[in-house]
Amino acid sequence: MIDPPAKIRRLVFLGTPRESVPFLNALAAAGFDMALAVTRPDKRRGRRAAPTPSPVKAVAQDLGIPVSSDVDDVLGADADLGVVVAFGQIIKPHVLDRLAMVNVHFSLLPRWRGAAPVERAILAGDQTTGVCLMEVAEGLDTGRVYRRVEVPIGPDITAEALRAELVEIAAPMLVDALNEGLGVPAPQEGEPVYAAKITRDELRLDWGQPAEHLHRQVRVGGAWTMWRGKTLKVWEARTIEGSLPPGQMDGACVGTGQGLLELVGVQAEGKSRQAAENWIRGARPTPDDRLGL
């Protein structure tokens, strides 16, 4: 692992999903010489569909930036620095030994190192999160930190909206840091906490849990329960005061272990998303029905 030069003009960019795109656009707009973009190979979305590029590849091609799916190609790019945003791959030591890299990570390190920091912060009920600009080092998000910005987590914000807010803050922070000089990074302080990918089982709504806990699962995205033996996804909900037996419904309100969860947007198995009141009108719950069964 080597330190970046004091003056940075020529970059390689490593990223894949749409969250990476604002950073690539911001760097190009700021006048940095973008030598190469590295992203995942094209993927088929169906058996007969043509391979489609990642969001980063599509934008890089529009900007006239060369694209590769092989990380080792950065070694021939004659770049000053690599910038990593949601790349999704571990960068091997032989690359880090020859090219300094920084990573934009959506948490306040060392809390929530790993793949799902935004989702984990919401599930845990954290009051704040943030963005770190850190050096890429061996190990999972272990590098020293150049800059960090703290952001409050609103009580109703979804993971998607929070991630968008963090991107909006982090993209100009990255450009400013590269223009002003990265300076001396600070070691991470505190006990590391890891943010493993969210599993489907973690998003199953247990109506014996408090409404606040269930609301956090819904805010992460993909929360689900059972209704008459079929899957029902809950995309939007809110907590309200009141009491019902867990899983019992009174209109759109569902009993939990503490308080009520009011369904706002749902998706029945094999159907499109719809307002909860429209689903209830068609489902016609009886007093004997329970969510979760």
Give pLDDT tens digits for 60-96. 999 999 999 999 999 999 999 999 999 988 899 999 9
| Cα–Cα distance, 220 to 120 (Å, whole number) | 8
Give the model's pLDDT for residue 51. 86
Whole-model pTM over 0.85: yes
Residue 124 in this model has a pLDDT that exceeds 90? yes
Give the model's pLDDT for residue 216. 98
Residue 157 in this model has a pLDDT that exceeds 90? yes
* Strands annotated E in 39-98: 67-68, 81-85
Q: What is the mean pLDDT of residues 150-162?
A: 97
Right CATH for 10-195 from 3.40.50.170, 3.40.1710.10, 1.10.150.20, 3.40.50.10300? 3.40.50.170
Residue 47 in this model has a pLDDT that exceeds 80? no
Element (H, E) at 148: strand 145-152
Q: What is the mean pLDDT of residues 97-111?
A: 97
The number of CA neighbours under 13 Å toward the Cβ of 193 is 14
Element (H, E) at 140: none
pLDDT-derived band at 11 (thresholds 50, 70, 90) equals very high
- In degrees and rounded to multiples of 5, residue 79 shows phi and psi of -100, 155
Residue 45 in this model has a pLDDT that exceeds 80? no
pLDDT-derived band at 43 (thresholds 50, 70, 90) equals confident
**How many other C-beta atoms lie within 10 A of the C-beta of residue 183?**
10
Q: What percentage of the chain has pLDDT greater than the value 70? A: 99
| Cα–Cα distance, 121 to 211 (Å, whole number) | 17
Q: Is 15 in contact with 68 (CB distance < 8 Å)?
A: no
Give the model's pLDDT for residue 63. 97
Give the model's pLDDT for residue 224. 98
* Token representation of residue 94: 């032989």
Give the model's pLDDT for residue 1. 77
Q: Which CATH superfamily is domain 201-283 in?
A: Formyl transferase, C-terminal domain (3.10.25.10)
Give the model's pLDDT for residue 76. 96
pLDDT-derived band at 278 (thresholds 50, 70, 90) equals very high
Mean pLDDT score of the chain = 96
Domain boundaries defined on the chain? 10-195, 201-283
